[in-house]
Structure 1
């Protein structure tokens, strides 16, 4: 069976509502001849004459009477689907947004986001989800609304994204750690006892590659899956944690942070979403708010 011409629903609705080909033509802004051709197609498609002559007037057939209310509802539903979205009323908005992020994002940016929501959209809640891996399947499947991460958007054309901020790595130790007394050299950094942060449990990474170019090697004594765990260990020991600077600002309070004494490239943290949400007014508003807050927190 070939796909039906859904434009005929509008024609059928007008014909059944008006009970006149002439009035239906005026309603749809069609010429009488165009309306007559459309009625002929409707009769052929439905297998029913729909309107028949009774004296000088046209009257609906039993099939037309049966269809009239159903067709009218279908047209109303289609018009509802295709109408422009309502203007966003933040004070009345009731919605929970799931944001999948790495450790530190909620601690750093969550308070400002929640404060803005309390003022602008008190019915909106944020669900900060842990990000145990880089697989964006939950984003593609619609399980989460937004995700933050370091990603080359050219490699993920099915996603949309905007840069949130640039970041870089810093070394972090407890207050009054011996290494905090003087500027840290690359040799002193490498000679310390280190915490490796890896969600996959890997011991070596880009930091070690950069040190290797200098003929140096870190002494890794433990591996953890997240920044907060690394900083918690460093705060209560002589271990050195190396973490993203902006991503962990609040987590590093009361600790000694220092710039890495060797070159490491900056990286961009982006906000990601699926195209299904691109035109959603509430979703777009939240994206803009996050971009604003992260951009202002320089």
Structure 2
């Protein structure tokens, strides 16, 4: 089944409003002959004359009179649907945003982000979900609105990104630990028993690669899947945790943190979203607040 030309709805709406081929042509910036051809197509499509001559003018048929209000509403709704949204009514916004993050983000940024959003829009809800990997499927299928993390090779090529802040790895021990005092040398650091943080197996990481040229190797006593359990273990033992500094600020409260004694580059934590949400006013508003919250904390 072939679809009719929906542009004819606009033509019909103007013809019924003007009641004149010449006036309708001027309004649509068409020639009278082009408008006459459009009227002929409308007659063929609807199976009705629509406008018939009465003296020097045209009058609508009963079918045209019945269609007038319906067609006018269809055209109005179509124009409204295609018009760019100029202003977001935050007071009336009712929407749940799903944000996928690694642990530490909610603890450090979640409360301020929610406070800022709800101050503008009381109907907004946040749903934070864990981020076990860098797969972009959730952004593609719409189950995730926004992600935060370090861009990697598994990040979808079409995904939009924007940097939020720079971070670095630091060592963390309980107060009173031997590494809480004195100079932290590579050998002192490596000699401790360490907590490995690995999401997909494997205990070696950039810290181990930096120690290797010095002939040093860490002893990994236990491996966990995230920063929160690593810091919980370090807080209650003599184990050493190595975690991102800014991403775990509040999680490290009451513990001793120190700069790593090996050269490691900083890394960028970004937010990621799918292109289909790029122009969405509510999503742009969310992204602006995420940038503001992450940029305000040092």
Is TM (by shorter chain) over 0.5?
yes
Q: What residue in structure 1 maps to residue 92 of structure 2?
A: 92
Cα displacement (A) at 1:238: 0.7
Would you say how many aligned residue pairs link Structure 1 and Structure 2? 298
| Matched residue SS, 2:233 | helix
Q: What residue in structure 2 maps to residue 274 of structure 1?
A: 274
**CA 1:21–1:268 in 2, change beyond 3 Å: closer, same or farther?**
same
Aligned equivalents of 2:141 and 2:181: distance in 1? 50
- Is the contact between residue 134 and residue 152 of structure 2 (CA under 8 Å) also seen in structure 1? no
Q: What residue in structure 2 maps to residue 192 of structure 1?
A: 192
Cα displacement (A) at 1:54: 4.3
1:193-235 Cα deviation digits (max 9, x unpaired):
1111111132222222222222211111111111001000110
Q: What residue in structure 2 maps to residue 133 of structure 1?
A: 133
Which stretch shifts more, 193-202 or 165-174?
Answer: 193-202
1:221 corresponds to 2:208: no
Cα displacement (A) at 1:291: 0.8
Cα displacement (A) at 1:109: 1.1
Cα displacement (A) at 1:16: 3.1
- Is the contact between residue 153 and residue 159 of structure 1 (CA under 8 Å) also seen in structure 2? no
Q: What residue in structure 2 maps to residue 206 of structure 1?
A: 206
| Matched residue SS, 1:238 | coil
**CA 1:193–1:154 in 2, change beyond 3 Å: closer, same or farther?**
closer
Q: Which runs of 5+ in 1 are unaligned?
A: none
Aligned equivalents of 1:74 and 1:202: distance in 2? 60
Aligned equivalents of 1:249 and 1:194: distance in 2? 20
**CA 1:192–1:281 in 2, change beyond 3 Å: closer, same or farther?**
same
Cα displacement (A) at 1:270: 0.4
Q: What residue in structure 2 maps to residue 245 of structure 1?
A: 245
TM-score by length of 1: 0.90
1:94-113 Cα deviation digits (max 9, x unpaired):
32211111000111112221
1:164-203 superposed matches below 5 A? 164-203=164-203
Q: Which runs of 5+ in 2 are unaligned?
A: none
1:1-298 superposed matches below 5 A? 4-61=4-61, 64-65=64-65, 67-152=67-152, 156-298=156-298
Cα displacement (A) at 1:22: 2.9
**CA 1:7–1:118 in 2, change beyond 3 Å: closer, same or farther?**
closer
| Matched residue SS, 1:237 | coil
- Is the contact between residue 201 and residue 224 of structure 1 (CA under 8 Å) also seen in structure 2? no
Which stretch shifts more, 104-113 or 228-237?
Answer: 104-113
Aligned equivalents of 2:65 and 2:115: distance in 1? 57
Cα displacement (A) at 1:63: 5.0
Cα displacement (A) at 1:41: 3.3
- Is the contact between residue 196 and residue 223 of structure 1 (CA under 8 Å) also seen in structure 2? yes
1:232-282 Cα deviation digits (max 9, x unpaired):
011001111110011000000000111111011111100111111111112
- Is the contact between residue 170 and residue 242 of structure 1 (CA under 8 Å) also seen in structure 2? yes
User: What is the RMSD computed on CA atoms of the aligned residues?
Assistant: 2.3
Aligned equivalents of 1:214 and 1:4: distance in 2? 75
